[in-house]
Structure 1
Amino acid sequence: MGVIGGRLDSASAGYAARRAAMLAKLGELSAEQDKAVAGGGPKYVERHHRRGKLLARERVELLVDPDSPFLELSPLAAWGTDFPVGASVVTGIGVVEGVECVIIASDPTVRGGTSNPWTLRKTLRAMDIALENRLPLVNLVESGGADLPTQKEIFIPGGRIFRDLTRLSAAGVPTIALVFGNSTAGGAYVPGLSDHVVMVKERAKVFLGGPPLVKMATGEESDDESLGGAEMHARVSGLADHLAADEHDALRVGRRIVARLTARRPSGPAPGEVRPPLYAEDELLGIVPEDLKIPFDPREVIARVVDGSEFDEFKPLYGASLVTGWATLHGHPIGVLANARGVLFSEEAQKAAQFIQLADRAGTPLLFLQNTTGYMVGKDYEQGGIIKHGAMMINAVSNSTVPHLTVVMGASYGAGNYGMCGRAYDPRFLFSWPSAKSAVMGPAQLAGVLSIVGRAAAQARGQAYDEEADAAMRQMVEAQIEAESLPFFLSGRLYDDGVIDPRDTRTVLGLCLSAIAGAPGPAPAGYGVFRM
């Protein structure tokens, strides 16, 4: 493999401007992530501690191995909605007794840990990751159940949580529930459907209906402990497999359960030698221009992410707007597809389809580095078959069976989002940089299209076109699309797995590749009909 990169001038004024713009965006990102870390705010955090309870992130920290990384997922979930940032739950991948696990931790300082529509989506995403990558699932449970005012958006789709717990167990993926407090109504089925259950004495409460509901339904007088207390479930119902003395003891027992799992993850191929890139990861801050219309060379990104900055480029002289090639990352072999000039032409689409087929044949995971405005339009390109060739690339991405990872560095517009493995194409993991933007097209283009359509409609009716109203419409639409294409908005709706600091890209991808490595190997790829 050849060493790439080295053309970036970190002493130039352009680099300094790009770096400053990225640092400003990272400052905004940090402020938003702090909101999730703050939970329900000082009042409720203090009340929780006063009751002798640990916070959700404190529980996670004590569960995972000391000094091991925790890859938090979707920390900005619910951003821009009526619900708190973070969606009342912490999810991520951590190492417990040397085993990578998906961890879901209710945050009871946020509305009692109740589940809103975004809590549900975030939880289901974490469970999908556990199943697809065969990672044991550990639930740290303390939740007041559904957020009742939004039950219409939770009740019916929420049943999938219970279905997925059974499917994880059926697939041989261990499920563990550590119950620290309330797990009531439908939430009672989380421990009820888990392989291993630990409940904290005098704290855990698991029942389908609490004392008030039982009184209304049957007239029976009861109390929390006799209905669903931890000791009752350990001694009488048998729902609890372990009765923990306190929260620390529950976490200790949980670690021991993971350590003694008989259904351990299948071991994938051992990664090769790990060599750091030749160039500083800090320089990733100064590569992407603030104006995404200005192209940048993704090879400079690849050089600061892959092992030894070595990259074996595939078809470098053909379809130059898309860089493709082979590398290793933290010892794991990968194939890389990275947009160089934004637009995808027929040559790029055909090149991508062939490269994806080669990766499938070799069983090599694919990394998509997005900065695309979509497939090229115009008479010559339509006549040249851009639809057929774009469809060929999308066909290859859709039916490829090797794991896909996606990082949105810059633009992600139109069908280019699809061809470069956007969220709809189920990459194993998808992360965004703070510089990312995604929409059906750019704000100015979308507003312009609406203006042209409106003008043509007025002309067809024989009416004069209101230029003043048109200018106001364009301004409003551009502002709306700009706001809806920003990474915080998209991450808040779980269209990615998190917005990351560019300097963390290599580490995040390494953690993802490690999580993927233990899953069963891909089945042979089968493709739909390629239109030639």
Structure 2
Amino acid sequence: MPLFDSRIDPRSEAFAANRDHMLRMLAEVRALEQRTRDRSAQSQPLFDKRGQLLPRDRIALLLDPGSAYLELSALAGFGLDHPDPAKCVPGAGVITGIGMVGGTRCMVVASDSGIEAGSFRAMALEKILRAQRIALDNKLPFVHLVESAGANLLRYKVEGFVGGGAMFRNLARLSAAGLPVVTVVHGSSTAGGAYMPGLSDYVIMVRGRARAFLAGPPLLKAATGEIATEENLGGAEMHTAVSGLGEYMAENDADGVRLAREVVKRLQWSRHLTPGALAQGSEVRGPRFDSEDLLGIMSPDGRKPADMREVIARIVDDSDFLEFKSLYGPSTVTAHAAIRGHAIGIITNNGPIDPDGANKATHFIQACCQSGTPIVYLQNTTGYMVGQAYERGGMIKHGSKMIQAVANATVPQLTVMCGASFGAGHYGMCGRAYEPSFLFSWPNARTAVMGGEQAAMTMRIVAEAGAKRKGLDVDEAALDAQDKAIVDTFERQQSAIATSSLLLDDGVIDPRDTRDVLALSLTVLNEAARRTVRPIQFGVARP
């Protein structure tokens, strides 16, 4: 095949003229782009005073150092916000682009809050919708850095309000498509904008700066007469500890961006491009704490609490784990970690499961299913909370949601019975009936519908009430004997040896071997997922 013979003469006058024209056009574009950057940078003194980073500095901190970044739609809205082109600032108040975050290529969208507090300007909605469309079409996780005054009510247009619902629709579709939505709330995200974190899978809120509420203090007072501060109404501490809208609370902008990188990194999204690739770009390190310590964490008295974070720290890589919603439903512990390079989600218990804990676990299970992350349950619970307050708080429905999530999870689930496993907590923490891929017990594990003493007390109360209704005297000796028989029955059946003998687990393991056992199990599951089999319509017949 003959080589192409170029006819262009770079030394000709025509070529030089063409080149000069192109450079002038390019310089005009670059000048407009720089105008936007300069306009945003004018807010530097205000941001410094508030202890904040400018939006583009947040993006720079979010992206992997030295990696490529493709900014999109930089000239959006130019000429539409101001009649004088010389005074018009392009960009629509939003920065969008594709870049690498923790080794994963993501769609990154940030409010340009250095310009008019990040309020939406002409074409802002269309720019965000285009970024969401690209993320959906190209299977990119969506990272959103939010600090926006929202729509400018002085420029209100009903069509903008109606069409704006598409932005929230797309967030829901991204999540449903299996594309994680990670949002950092750096400042205001109010009214309709509150649905940005509300429709995200992982939400990080900056202490003292984040604001998320459907009606701010002025509108609240106008609508209902109620008086509230912004912090109490929708601050980071309230949302991470009370409402559950936020999973992580950051100390400042930089910390919020760090947490966003941590979340994306923990998802190991790139492993989907190279099946079986583990812990890309990093050495797998063992726990920093001695596995021998696992022998002394759990008390023989199951009523004495144990901090299961101590267990996590002795089985995961580098003792490094990122808690999910740590301030919300704190008796239920959820975290991202890795074991021998295998990304995992962990769910465990530092006490009974309350409504907030059940909701947190449900959210976490669904998020793990979305990212294809196996879940490890470390059981140590006396069950779901009981009592009038908890019944009124919806314990049944919230516990049922958790059980629904466990029963229908689409990722491998592994269970280790580390301590107590009582009542419906056994079900909600992926007990044997929920068919975890593997289930192992520590020697001290105990499984029962309830504690023997509670069962005996329950039956005693029933017997005493029955005798009272019939006008009979209570036979205390008989009830004492009944108590002993019930306790003995429960004690005999709840031990790890008893349950393992009935094949209610896959074996009783040395706590010190937990990491090795889970690593091997995860390797088996990973290989199974990558293995191709060729089903046939018959069994292979022997001659």
From the CA coordinates, give the structure whose radius of gyration is larger: 2
Give the alignment's TM-score, normalised by structure 1.
0.49
**Higher relative contact order at CA 8 Å, sep ≥6: structure 1 or structure 2?**
1
Give the alignment's TM-score, normalised by structure 2.
0.48
